[in-house]
């Protein structure tokens, strides 16, 4: 994981309190709610006063803080971001925790040795934040990640490092055929905003993130339904699909999972307000030899 997303550092130069308070004032005047915190990060990122002025100018013009800095904090990792790539949201850390829990539980139940590894697919990977965080939590993962956006794939390749494969393409299409029926976990934070609600999003998302990263069609579940439809062909028996949705969409998404032969349930995190729909591919009934009553 040499080139992968690294832990957070605070390595900016010291700046005079005066410059810092100017930055806070400019951010506040531009309507930044967390002006103090943002000023701290911008000051830490700038190597010269001219660079600080340029960073503040871009933030005041409305660019998301993470695009100005070139990184986002996700699960304690510094995830590299290019402009125009979806900024990973803190609520998606719940998706990572649920997936990591499932992997640990299935390995404990199977009594697997320390050398065993899991095959994980991160669909609609964006910057690769979810996959990178899963690899950091569980190093014994063979990760494959997919996104249609070449800029996102460039970021993902940097964030997941050389131990993982990242493909450009539509959902399962670019995955190697050898993974069919062998994937332990598919994670997906796919676009799920209902189309008519996109105009209600804050400008940071509406203006600076691509529509393809947000637009989930009429009810927001178009991409998630396609993911559910393809899952059984790629999951190993007993494997899981986990998809983030809004709380309101959870039950409809679970029905879509069930329609595609997955045992589905909805998991919610009260703390972060996140919802994850979890579907399991059933294990086939045992068809081997049975003992006769006489032994
Ligand atoms: C909501 S963003 C999430 C990105 C990332 N999973 C995260 O949590 O930060 C959705 C991503 O899905 C990608 N995407 C949209 N439709 C896709 C498709 N049919 N196949 C693969 N990726 C797709 C977009 O380019 C975008 O990067």
CA of 213 to the centre of ligand 1 (A): 5
Question: Has residue 116 got a pLDDT over 80?
Answer: no
Helical H segments across the chain, by residue range: 17-29, 35-45, 49-60, 65-69, 93-110, 129-137, 150-160, 203-208, 211-214, 222-234, 250-259
Mutate to test the pocket of ligand 1, among 147, 210, 246 (most ligand atoms within 8 A of CB): 147
Say if CB 204 and CB 171 are below 8 A apart.
Answer: no
Task: Place 2 in a pLDDT band, splitting at 50, 70 and 90.
Answer: very low
Task: Place 151 in a pLDDT band, splitting at 50, 70 and 90.
Answer: very high
Tell me the CA distances in angstroms from 217 to 56, 201, 259, one per residue in order.
35, 15, 19
CA of 11 to the centre of ligand 1 (A): 31
Spatial separation of the C-alpha atoms in residues 178 and 175, rounded to whole Å:
8
Task: Place 97 in a pLDDT band, splitting at 50, 70 and 90.
Answer: very high
Task: Evaluate if pTM is beyond 0.85.
Answer: yes
Structure tokens at 283: 């294990």
Q: Which of 250, 237, 238, 226 is nearest to 102 (CA)?
A: 238
Give the pLDDT mean for 110-116.
65
pLDDT tens-digit readout, 11-29? 445 556 558 899 999 999 9
Give the pLDDT mean for 129-148.
96
DSSP letter (8 states) at residue 178: G
Residues near ligand 1 with C-beta < 6 Å?
86, 88, 92, 124-127, 129-130, 146-149, 152, 170-171, 189-191, 212-213, 223
Question: Has residue 279 got a pLDDT over 90?
Answer: yes
Question: Has residue 170 got a pLDDT over 60?
Answer: yes
Question: Has residue 272 got a pLDDT over 80?
Answer: yes
- Return the sign of the alpha-carbon dihedral for residues 136, 138, 142, 144: negative
CA of 220 to the centre of ligand 1 (A): 13
Minimum-distance ligand 1 atom for the alpha carbon of 87? 9
pLDDT tens-digit readout, 53-76? 999 999 999 999 999 999 999 999
């Amino acid at each position: 994981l040499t080139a992968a997303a690294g832990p957070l550092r605070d390595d900016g130069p010291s700046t005079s309190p005066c410059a810092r308070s100017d930055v806070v004032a400019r951010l506040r005047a531009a309507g930044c709610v967390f002006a103090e915190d943002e000023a701290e990060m911008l000051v830490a990122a700038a190597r010269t006063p001219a660079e600080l002025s340029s960073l503040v100018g871009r933030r005041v013009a409305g660019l998301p803080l993470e695009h100005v800095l070139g990184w986002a904090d996700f699960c304690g990792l510094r995830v590299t971001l290019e402009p125009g790539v979806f900024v990973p949201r803190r609520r998606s850390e719940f998706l990572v925790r649920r997936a990591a829990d499932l992997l640990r539980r299935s390995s404990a139940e199977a009594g697997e040795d320390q050398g065993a590894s899991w095959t994980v697919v991160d669909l609609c990977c964006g910057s690769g934040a979810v996959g990178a965080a899963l690899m950091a939590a569980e190093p014994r993962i063979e990760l494959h990640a997919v996104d249609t956006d070449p800029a996102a794939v460039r970021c993902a390749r940097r964030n997941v490092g050389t131990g993982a494969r990242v493909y450009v393409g539509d959902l399962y299409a670019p995955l190697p055929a050898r993974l069919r029926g062998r994937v332990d976990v598919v994670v997906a934070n796919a676009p799920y905003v209902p189309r008519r609600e996109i105009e209600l999003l804050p400008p940071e998302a509406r203006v600076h993130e691509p529509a393809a990263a947000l637009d989930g069609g009429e009810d927001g579940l178009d991409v998630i339904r396609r993911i559910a439809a393809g899952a059984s062909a790629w999951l190993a028996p007993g494997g899981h699909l986990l998809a983030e949705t809004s709380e309101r969409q959870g039950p409809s998404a679970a029905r879509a999972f069930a329609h595609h032969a997955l045992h589905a349930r909805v998991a919610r995190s009260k703390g972060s307000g996140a919802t994850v729909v979890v579907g399991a591919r059933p294990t086939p009934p045992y068809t081997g030899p049975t003992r006769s009553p006489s032994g």
